[in-house]
Each structure stands twice: as structure tokens, then as C-alpha cells.
Amino acid sequence: MTPATATHWLDRHREQLLAFAARLIATPSPNPPGDERAVVHEIVTEMHNLGLSDTEIAAKVPERPNLIYRLRGGKTGPVLMLCGHSDTKPVGQRGEWRTDPFEPVIHDGKLYGLGATDMKGAVAAMVYATAALRQSAGELAGDLLLVIDADEERSMKFGAEYLAGEYGLRADVALLGEPSGIAGPEFEFLHLVSRGVACFKVRVHGTQTHSSLTDRLSAVNANQLLAEVITRMQRELQLTFRPHPLCSAPTINLAVQVEGGVGYGVCPGVAEFQSDIRTLPGMTRAQVEDDLEKCLNGIRRYHPRLRVELQFEELPLGWIAPTEVSADHPLVPALLRSAEEVLGRRPTLSAFPGGSDAAKFQGLAGIPTIPSFGPGWLNLAHGPNECVGVAAILQAAHIYVRAAATFLA
Ligand SMILES: [Zn+2]
């Protein structure tokens, strides 16, 4: 099916789409603290103006609204969900920004502002793709479900987790518009795997005592021992996994934060470091925990006096499950072909490096979820001077329209 009507509609609404993306950036939704009401109000208003009037708000608490809209096709068929999150990370170091993070600026073909790439550009594109498809919805065999969810950047509790669990959201397949460029061109990859996250602490105990006595009494300096545990783990930790065709190995970052000691005069009694592992499909929390304990046991054998313990973080950070969608799923060729038609090149199949809402939509609700195909660059997300290509926002809308029309043909 050639979605000519929808494509022409998008071309005529080009400027409006870009202005909408800019307005979303100008409406702050940092998480923490987490309050998406203003930005969702902006989206609902725009959708109503575009004729998408039956919007629904699903919220666990009023300040964390999730927006849901169903575009009913003229014939029966599967439900395709397009999903973006409306929250952003906080600004962080404002001094590093060359422009005001909440005053969108276009420079050199890029739209700058907080959330531009992660992922207000994609949200705007998805809203306009839905409005464009409405022009010929009668031709669709199946429904398009547009979901703009809250709380992706922190706990997912009020967003994907609530929708996939308590609310009972159902769809046959979902596409998240997370940025899919990584340092190369936008739409560089079509990510089918969403890597999981395992965050944990390792705590080492020593002897807290007067530092002037360590030559007379036997005392253990927890900080020094911690340094040794870090270097030994770096060398000796062996995780159990099967290499995935799209992603060869998990990422291990030991000691992303280190804490310990009191200061001059005190032999440190306790020290700890935090670490994160990005897991592959097939890895389980029990196995990761076992591998870590095995490694620590090895270190304990060298140091009979070592008192060290492992503690996984609370959920969700303690364990976000990895997910994957098969390359044979009919949405994958539909996206690849649509991308080729719009961009003139095919993206490479790959694994999304970070965690995503896929953990909840797929992990809890069983909806196969493609974690990322959207405008922008993942490496610019969560940092200063975040930006998204202006052309890529428009291309995203065109790709979503074509892929949805093909999948729901
Ligand atoms: Zn994101």
C-alpha cells in the first residue's frame, strides 16, 4: 500500500510538526522530580487540533499521566503500538549548555534543547504520523495505538510498568522511538534487542580506628582493600552468557561510584563501590549474582581477612530484563523497507545499548517491542547541548507512516 494521502498530508504539515517539536522542548518535564502534566496537556491540545480527539489519559497518580489514542482501521487486523516517553532527564550542568535547554533553537539543521533527541522529536513525529494516517484510516487492516508514556527516565513505575501491568495495555507489537543513531548518522541502526541492566554495590569492611595505631595494632584499611577488589574483579569476573548475533558481549562497568573513609586521622572501616552491567538476552539475575559471588569467593581465598558483601540495588535498577524481537517479525521488514524508501539506505540491525520501556511492555505484557527506531543520537541523550536533526524528525514521521501502512495493509 502506498500511503500517498498520508505522505502528502505530512508534507503540507511540515512546519507545524517542527513547531510542535519545539513546543514540547519548551515545556519542561524533567524526571526527577517527574511531572508530565504540562507536556501531556501540550500534546493533547495539538492532537485535538489535528482531529485526534478521543485521547485517553491513564494515570496511577494524577501528576504522571500516560496518553493513549487508538486509530481504528477500517478492517480487522493486528494492533501496532507506537510509543514515546514524555519525560526527560534533568538539565544537570546548565553551565555546559551553549543555549537555554528550554528555549529550542535551530542551528545548522539541528534542533537544540533538553529532550530534543530523547525523545520529544520522536514523540512529535509519532503524533503527526498518527494524524497523517487518520486521513486514510479506512484502508488500514488493524489499529494503530499511540502511547505517550511517563516516567521512562527513572522508575517506569508510573509509565510502562503501570500500563503493562495494572492498566492492562495490549498490542500485538510495539515500536519505541528512542534515538537510533550512535555517533554516526541518524537512523544508523534498527535496534531489535534492548539490553538489560543490573546495578549492584560491593561493600568492603575494615577496621575503623585511630590512624596513628595501625603500626602497632593490626587494622584493615577498607579503602585500600576496596581498590584491590575492584582491580581483581576487573581481571577475574567471568559472566555466563551466550554471544548474541546483534550484540557480542555484556558491558561491565565496575566502580561507577566509589565511597569510603572518614578523613585524616581515621583508618577507614567501610568502603563500597557501585557497578553496572548491561546484559544480553538469555542472561538471568540469578546467574549474574552467582557469577559475581564466584568472583568474590576467588578474591576471598587470597585475603582470609577480607569481609566483602554484594548487594543488588532495589528494583528497577537492580534488574531490568533484556528483551529482543526476532528479525523475522513482519514489522522489521516493514521498517527496513520504509527506512530505505525515505532515507535511501538501510539501517543496520543492532542491539540498543541501554535499558528501555521494552523491559516492561515485553517483559510484563508480552508485547514484542522494538526498543529504538527514532530520530537523534543516543550519545547526545542525557548530556548538555542535546539536539536532533530537523530533517530526521520529518523523516521519522514518514517512516512511521509507511511502516504502519505496510504492517497494517
Ligand atoms: Zn529515551
Number of domains in the chain: 2
How far, in Å, from the CA of 90 to the mean position of ligand 1? 13
Distance (angstroms) between ligand 1 centre and the Cα of 140 equals 29
171 and 206 co-located in one domain: no
> Looking at the structure, do residues 221 and 159 belong to the same domain, yes or no?
no
Inside any domain, residue 317:
no
Separation of 258 CA from ligand 1 center, angstroms?
Answer: 27
CATH number at 337 reads 3.40.630.10
pLDDT at 316: 83
**What's the 136 CA to ligand 1 centre distance in angstroms?**
30
Q: Three-state SS string across the chain, please?
A: CCCHHHHHHHHHCHHHHHHHHHHHHCCCCECCCCCCHHHHHHHHHHHHHCCCCCCEEEECCCCCEEEEEEECCCEEEEEEEEEEECCECCCCCHHHCCCCCCCCEEECCEEECCCHHHHHHHHHHHHHHHHHHHCCHHHCEEEEEEEEECCCCCCCCCCHHHHHHHHCCCCCEEEEECEEECCCCCCCEEEEEECEEEEEEEEEECCCEEHHHCCCCCCCCHHHHHHHHHHHHHHHCCCCCCCECCECCCEEEEEEEEEECCCCCEECCEEEEEEEEEECCCCCHHHHHHHHHHHHHHHHHHCCCCEEEEEECCCCCCCECCEECCCCCCHHHHHHHHHHHHHCCCCEEEEECCCCCHHHHCCCCCCCEECECEEEEHHHCCCCCCEEEHHHHHHHHHHHHHHHHHHCC
Tell me how far the alpha carbon of residue 120 lies from the centroid of ligand 1, in angstroms.
9
- Considering the domain architecture, whether residues 331 and 182 belong to the same structural domain is answered as yes
355 Cα–ligand 1 center, Å: 9
Please indicate, yes or no, if residue 184 is contained in any of the structural domains.
yes
189 and 202 fall within a common domain: no
Of the three residues 280, 312, 344, the one that is the final residue of a domain is: 312
What is the Å distance from ligand 1's center to 237 Cα? 30
Question: What was the pLDDT predicted at 1?
Answer: 47
With a CB cutoff of 8 Å and minimum separation 6, the contacts of 55 are 44, 47, 48, 67, 68, 69
The answer to whether residues 8 and 115 belong to one domain is yes
CATH classification at residue 206: 3.30.70.360
Q: How far is the CA of 115 from the centre of ligand 1 (A)?
A: 8
Ligand 1 midpoint to CA 122 (Å): 10
Q: Please give the distance, rounded to the nearest whole angstrom, from the Cα atom of residue 178 to the centre of ligand 1.
A: 5
Cα–ligand 1 centroid distance for 153 (angstroms): 7
Kindly report, residue by residue over 375-394, the tens digit of the pLDDT: 999 999 999 999 999 999 99
Among 255, 279, 312, residue at a domain's last position: 312
Please check whether residues 243 and 281 belong to one and the same domain. Answer: yes
- What is the residue range of 169's domain? 4-195+322-407
Distance 378 CA to ligand 1 centre (A): 8
Positions in the chain short of pLDDT 70: 1-2
Residues 59 and 174 in one domain: yes
Instruction: Establish if 127 belongs to a structural domain.
Output: yes
> Is residue 220 located within the same domain as residue 208?
yes
* CA 212 to ligand 1 center in whole angstroms: 51
Q: Tell me the CA–centroid distance for residue 117 and ligand 1, in Å.
A: 8
Residue 61 C-alpha to ligand 1 middle, in angstroms? Answer: 21
Distance from the alpha carbon of residue 176 to the mean position of ligand 1, in angstroms: 9
How far is ligand 1, taken at its centre, from the CA of residue 295, in Å? 33
Please tell me the distance between residue 294's alpha carbon and the centre of ligand 1 in angstroms: 34
How close is the Cα of 405 to the center of ligand 1, in Å?
A: 25
Residue 228: inside a domain:
yes
Q: Read off the pLDDT of residues 125-168 as tens digits, 9 standing for 90 and up.
A: 999 999 999 999 999 999 999 999 999 999 899 999 999 999 99
Q: Are residues 289 and 254 in the same domain?
A: yes
pLDDT at 2: 52
Q: Are residues 131 and 210 in the same domain?
A: no
Distance 266 CA to ligand 1 centre (A): 44
> Do residues 164 and 307 share a domain?
no
Residues 21 and 123 in one domain: yes
Boundary-marking domain end, from 264, 284, 312: 312
- pTM across the whole model: 0.91
CA of 104 to the centre of ligand 1 (A): 18
Asked, for residue 147, whether it belongs to a domain, the answer is yes
- C-alpha 374 – ligand 1 centre gap (Å): 10
How many angstroms does the Cα of residue 152 sit away from the middle of ligand 1?
7
**Ligand 1 centroid – CA 197 distance (Å):** 15
